[in-house]
Structure 1
């Protein structure tokens, strides 16, 4: 039994919980007091961003609207199957989540990489995300609507279907994926951050991708750098402490 049982369906929870979690977690980062000694960029660097904060919020809300429509439809039609009515054991759910993580990483790596390699797609679609030269938490899902649909929404749907998870397990998986994505874009290297301890693909790793010299590297998101390592697009980073405070993620590629 879960806390929402009897109040909302698993399908509704799986649709809207990730959206609520996104704004709560990203809002937490935005409302933190000044943390200059943990920033990967100085406050002055933010002038490099080519899109105002208000436009970023609108872009994220638009993407989440599309995601909600697709998710509610997908979760509803799959909930009518016999397999979806029985919640599997915890070990099986963990296995399904791991499968979903691998599928999502695979989908996002190849779509993301192709959007960089295809000049038309980069110029007219993916470059919108790179208007945030200095990433921040609320901008984690700031994309062109078509990219949001193809990369995140379709990628999430394929991960859900390929893993065979139920709608209830999907609540856990999608909320976790959202938190990880927001954390990767927060621009902070906080001590004790569990994502930095457990994942090589983290805030600094993705920050390299937003730098000019790392634009053709570190495509992997949101979990593991497996495909970058296997296919030669892996660029490790060094964290260098700035004299005035904070850190800088620098490419460590030979």
Structure 2
């Protein structure tokens, strides 16, 4: 197999989303506790999460290092193959419509892949116990814990899912920089544990921090598998858990399953 140095766009597509992850989650950290917007109290976060924040940071860095290695290896191999075959680099579309269409296709592909892989990791007892349960040690999610996963889960859900989204949509590496940065921000936001007024992600998507918070609770681990964009597959396949968002007396909000669903379960 021929190998070649990845292009600048390939490198940016690898490292920019990681920078976006820490910058965006860092903004949430700098905002402070924001008690009036929290989905769980600070006391719950400290009591119910069984892993320290130091360990979470280390775990995310390990996963990101693993993903960087895999991505660079793939880009190096693909670049070398294209160079040896005399294939010219892909041209960036001049039409915004084409780029938006590629974004939509990539979103659908990523949602589909992650829904079925995520659900399988819950259904398969071995994979849940030894792989996916690491992510669920954060019963009360927070922003920089969004990618606190087992490296194998990161490879299957994020790296493979991202590669499929990239290939099927036909986007260029330059477009991919923006798409994967956007997907990263959405994932961080889904785990931020806050219900902020005017949050654009909440305005655009029903799959949001409250929706995903339901999944992280013990009663919701068999529901709300969809991530990171839409809730379509949950609704089609009967794994959608409706909820209400109610204010707590001590401040903040609580996402609660609807009464009808509580009776069923």
**Smaller-chain TM-score bracket:** over 0.9
Q: Is the 8 A contact 1:21 1:178 kept in 2?
A: yes
Q: Is the 8 A contact 1:75 1:167 kept in 2?
A: no
Aligned residues: 247
Q: CA deviation at 1:198?
A: 0.8
In the alignment, the residues of structure 2 paired with residue 78 and residue 236 of structure 1 have an alpha-carbon distance, to the nearest angstrom, of 44
- What runs of 5+ residues in structure 1 fail to find an aligned partner? 1-7
Q: CA deviation at 1:251?
A: 1.2
User: Residue 217 of structure 2: which of 197, 211, 214 is its match?
Assistant: 211
In the alignment, the residues of structure 1 paired with residue 78 and residue 147 of structure 2 have an alpha-carbon distance, to the nearest angstrom, of 26
Quote the residue 2:113 is aligned against: 107
Quote the residue 1:4 is aligned against: none
Q: Is the 8 A contact 2:33 2:42 kept in 1?
A: no
Alignment RMSD (CA, Å): 1.5
Q: CA deviation at 1:74?
A: 3.5
Alignment of 1:64-143 (within 5 A): 64-78=64-78, 80=82, 82=87, 84-88=89-93, 89-143=95-149
SS at match of 2:43: helix
Q: Is the 8 A contact 2:38 2:252 kept in 1?
A: yes
In the alignment, the residues of structure 2 paired with residue 127 and residue 230 of structure 1 have an alpha-carbon distance, to the nearest angstrom, of 25
- What runs of 5+ residues in structure 2 fail to find an aligned partner? 1-6
Q: CA deviation at 1:77?
A: 4.8
Quote the residue 1:52 is aligned against: 52
Quote the residue 2:32 is aligned against: 33
Alignment of 1:173-188 (within 5 A): 173-188=179-194
Q: CA deviation at 1:85?
A: 2.9
Deviations 1:58-81 (A, max 9, x none): 110111112212223334555648
Deviations 1:149-199 (A, max 9, x none): 111111111111111110000001000000000000000000000011110
In the alignment, the residues of structure 2 paired with residue 227 and residue 123 of structure 1 have an alpha-carbon distance, to the nearest angstrom, of 24
TM-aligned CA distance change 1:76 to 1:93, over 3 Å: farther
In the alignment, the residues of structure 2 paired with residue 34 and residue 207 of structure 1 have an alpha-carbon distance, to the nearest angstrom, of 17
Deviations 1:97-139 (A, max 9, x none): 1111000000000000011011111111111000000000000
Q: Give the TM-score of the pair, scaled to structure 1.
A: 0.93
SS at match of 2:146: helix
Query: Which structure has the bigger radius of gyration?
Result: 2
